[in-house]
């Protein structure tokens, strides 16, 4: 029944889920820490995906190359990359951080061209110029407001999209070398890599005094916050990844990712409604540059 749905619709559904959830991620990254928030959503997604696999009772045995690619993808993209993403969200806000993801089609287009022989147009370079203007406008807004260019947040965001792009390319490779493997399986294996990354970072990188502990922070949250953070983790990690990887498995990387960069528009709307504030002039100008880049990337369809 769902086999005839175009990949772009799956990508759009994933974008809506992630855009809303990103406002929740930003809130709790500021309240607690980005590492705690990222690790929590990884554990929630791990449980959700493997419950889905068990209930669906559909299993395609992945080969060793797929396992290595997907576990590495989860560690690099879902854990390390998302830590940088949440730090950037903490500094810049959800909608501004998601604008930086507008550069992702460029990186994925290059990767898809060299690794999977997918088409890549030099018109993407023009799209990158629009996205860079978008980033400059975001940074200019911060400079006018606080005297800071927010270069730290911008730099962290750029690292996040680069690591996320590497993770997606590894995931695409995992789909390619094990035909018939499902999105739930791929995500479940990736989440194992993400959780493995958590244990490595938490217990071998951070000193004991800075290690993340779930129970103390969880107990401090009220009932509404607990419901909110679980919904955000399911929406932004489980549902968005499930839909997005269906799109990745069926569509062209640069085109699918061009839909996902509409996230800032949706996140901006969600932020304005949630915090009851109008968007700033700088944000509107950044949206204009963003839309220009998006339209250019969309022409690659």
Return the DSSP state at 213: -
pLDDT in tens, the chain (301 residues): 455 677 777 888 888 898 899 989 989 999 999 999 999 999 999 999 999 999 988 789 999 999 999 999 999 999 999 999 999 888 888 767 877 776 776 777 777 777 766 666 677 678 777 877 877 787 787 778 777 767 888 889 889 988 998 998 899 899 889 998 988 999 999 999 999 999 999 999 888 888 888 989 999 999 999 999 999 999 999 999 889 888 877 777 766 766 666 666 677 778 777 778 888 888 788 888 878 877 776 665 5
Give the residue from 224, 249, 195, 234 showing the smallest Cα distance to 51. Answer: 234
CA–chain centroid gap for 274, Å, is 21
| DSSP letter assigned to residue 59 | -
Contact of 185 with 192, CB cutoff 8 Å: no
Tell me how far apart the alpha carbons of residues 252 and 83 are, in angstroms, rounded to a whole number.
27
Tell me how far apart the alpha carbons of residues 32 and 44 are, in angstroms, rounded to a whole number.
17
pLDDT at 70: 96
Identify which of 170, 177, 100, 104 has the alpha carbon closest to the alpha carbon of residue 139.
100
Q: How many residues does the chain have?
A: 301
Residue 1: predicted pLDDT:
44
Q: How open is the CA angle 175-179-181, to the nearest 5 degrees? A: 65
pLDDT at 230: 96
pLDDT score, position 92: 83
First to last CA, the chain: 24
- Name the H helices within the chain: 7-31, 34-56, 64-73, 82-92, 94-100, 104-116, 123-146, 151-177, 183-200, 214-220, 223-233, 240-250, 253-260, 263-275, 281-298
pLDDT (0 to 100) of residue 260: 66
Task: Using the structure block, give the residue that is written with the tokens 């799956």.
Answer: 10
Cα separation, 75 vs 82, in Å, equals: 10
Residue in 106, 132, 24, 96 with CA at minimum distance from that of residue 263: 96
DSSP letter string, 71-118: HHHIIIIIIIIHHHHHHHHHHH-HHHHHHHGGGHHHHHHHHHHHHH--
Distance (Å, rounded) from C-alpha 77 to C-alpha 297? 22
């Amino acid at each position: 029944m769902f086999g005839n749905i175009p990949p772009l619709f799956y990508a759009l559904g994933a974008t809506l889920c992630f855009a809303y959830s990103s406002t929740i991620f930003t809130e709790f990254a500021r309240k607690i820490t980005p590492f705690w928030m990222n690790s929590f959503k990884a554990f929630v997604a791990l449980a959700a995906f493997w419950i889905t696999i068990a209930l669906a009772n559909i299993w395609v045995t992945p080969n060793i190359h797929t396992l290595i690619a997907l576990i590495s993808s989860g560690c690099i993209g879902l854990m390390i990359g998302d830590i940088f993403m949440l730090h950037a969200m903490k500094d810049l806000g959800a909608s501004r951080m998601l604008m930086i993801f507008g550069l992702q089609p460029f990186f994925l287009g290059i990767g898809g061209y060299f690794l999977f022989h997918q088409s890549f147009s030099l018109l993407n370079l023009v799209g990158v110029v629009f996205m860079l203007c978008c980033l400059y406008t975001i940074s200019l807004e911060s400079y006018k407001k606080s005297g800071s260019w927010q270069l730290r947040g911008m730099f962290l965001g750029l690292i996040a999209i680069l690591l996320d792009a590497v993770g997606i390319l590894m995931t695409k490779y995992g789909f390619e070398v094990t035909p018939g493997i499902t999105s739930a399986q791929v995500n479940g294996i990736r989440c194992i890599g993400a959780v493995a990354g958590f244990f490595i970072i938490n217990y071998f990188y951070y000193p004991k005094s800075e290690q993340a502990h779930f129970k103390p922070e969880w107990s401090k949250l009220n009932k509404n916050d607990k419901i909110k953070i679980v919904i955000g983790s399911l929406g932004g990690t489980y549902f968005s990844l499930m839909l997005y990887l269906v799109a990745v498995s069926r569509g062209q990387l640069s085109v699918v990712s061009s839909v996902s960069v509409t996230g800032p528009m949706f996140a901006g709307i969600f932020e304005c409604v949630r915090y009851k504030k109008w968007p700033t002039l700088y944000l509107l100008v950044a949206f204009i540059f963003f839309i220009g880049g998006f339209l250019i990337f969309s022409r690659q369809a």
